[in-house]
């Protein structure tokens, strides 16, 4: 946990993610990233100088293997309130719309539900489990497929919903999250999206892995370039 806490605290302090009195909703999908984020924030809560509340929110997308009882048990063990919302995302994206490239619509629907549910629970911030790999993969996706030099920001204020999105795991490499999950023998929910393993993101993930093998410092160099260019608010506040 110490290594994960180090990544969390560094990102939180660099981008002033947590303020005194915040009530933070954590988007809990049951995957390795969201479980690590929830457990990390709960551990941080015990000693962090700024006091904050936590509540976990899950969007049930309607896929076969989604297990809300499993998520409820995790939250109960660490003392975090748990909220589940029936999202019917599978029905909308795959059955009604029959999207050929469903990832963007699926993410937008899920994010909208998380935002509104967080506000209903009195939260002013929503924490999402994007890690360092997600930052770099999104950067390459936008550059190679859309011609844009951009990725998501560590902190984003949503004008329409009046809530702030924070991503405290943006400095944590995916491999370190996997190690944390394996070392602590933490059960995660199996992936059940029909697009898992066949999306453009998976192609980029493979490309990034090959780059890392050939150029050992490539990840640090890319993150440094994103910061120095101040892409999407990546300039450190502190």
Amino acid 103: pLDDT: 64
Q: Which of 81-90, 96-105, 169-178, 196-205 holds the top average pLDDT? A: 169-178
38 contacts 80 by C-beta, under 8 angstroms = yes
Q: What is the pTM of this model?
A: 0.90
Is 95 or 164 the better-scoring residue by pLDDT?
164
Distance of alpha carbon 118 from alpha carbon 163, whole angstroms = 8
Helix (H, G, I), strand (E, B) or coil at 215: coil
- The domain 2-233 having CATH identifier 3.20.20.140: the answer here is no
Distance of alpha carbon 224 from alpha carbon 171, whole angstroms = 11
Amino acid 62: pLDDT: 62
pLDDT tens figures, 114-133: 998 999 999 999 999 999 99
Distance of alpha carbon 198 from alpha carbon 27, whole angstroms = 24
Give, in order, the Cα–Cα distances in Å from 53 to each of 24, 90, 110, 215, 232: 6, 31, 22, 41, 27
Q: At 213, phi and psi to the nearest 5?
A: -65, -40
pLDDT tens figures, 21-30: 999 999 998 9
User: Above 60 in pLDDT, residue 58?
Assistant: yes
Is 206 or 236 the better-scoring residue by pLDDT?
206
Q: Is the dihedral of CA 218, 221, 222, 223 positive or negative?
A: positive
User: Above 70 in pLDDT, residue 95?
Assistant: no
Amino acid 92: pLDDT: 60
Q: Hey, what are 155's tokens? A: 């902190």
DSSP string, 165-213: EE-TTTTS-HHHHHHHHHHTT---PPP--TTTTTSHHHHHHHHHHHHHH
Amino acid 113: pLDDT: 84
Helix (H, G, I), strand (E, B) or coil at 163: strand
What average pLDDT does the chain have? Answer: 88
């Amino acid at each position: 946990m110490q290594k994960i806490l180090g990544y969390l605290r560094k990102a939180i302090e660099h981008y002033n993610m947590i303020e005194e009195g915040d009530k933070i909703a954590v988007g809990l999908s049951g995957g390795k990233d969201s479980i690590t984020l929830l457990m990390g924030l709960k551990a941080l809560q015990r000693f962090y100088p700024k006091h904050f509340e936590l509540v976990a929110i899950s969007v049930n997308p309607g896929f076969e293997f989604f297990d809300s009882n499993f998520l409820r048990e995790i939250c109960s063990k660490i003392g975090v309130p748990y909220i589940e919302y029936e999202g019917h995302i599978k029905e909308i994206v795959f059955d009604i719309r029959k999207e050929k490239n469903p990832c963007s619509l699926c993410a937008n629907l899920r994010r909208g539900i998380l935002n509104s549910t967080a506000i209903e629970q009195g939260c002013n911030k929503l924490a999402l489990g994007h890690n360092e790999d997600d930052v770099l993969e999104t950067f390459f996706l936008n550059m190679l497929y859309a011609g844009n030099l951009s990725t998501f920001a560590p902190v984003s204020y949503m004008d329409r919903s009046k809530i702030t999105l924070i991503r405290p795991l943006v400095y944590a490499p995916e491999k370190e999250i996997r190690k944390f999950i394996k070392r602590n023998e933490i059960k995660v929910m199996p992936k059940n999206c029909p697009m898992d393993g066949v999306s453009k993101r998976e192609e980029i993930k493979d490309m990034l892995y090959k780059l890392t093998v050939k150029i050992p410092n490539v990840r640090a160099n890319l993150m440094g370039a994103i910061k120095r260019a101040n892409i999407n608010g990546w300039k450190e506040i502190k």
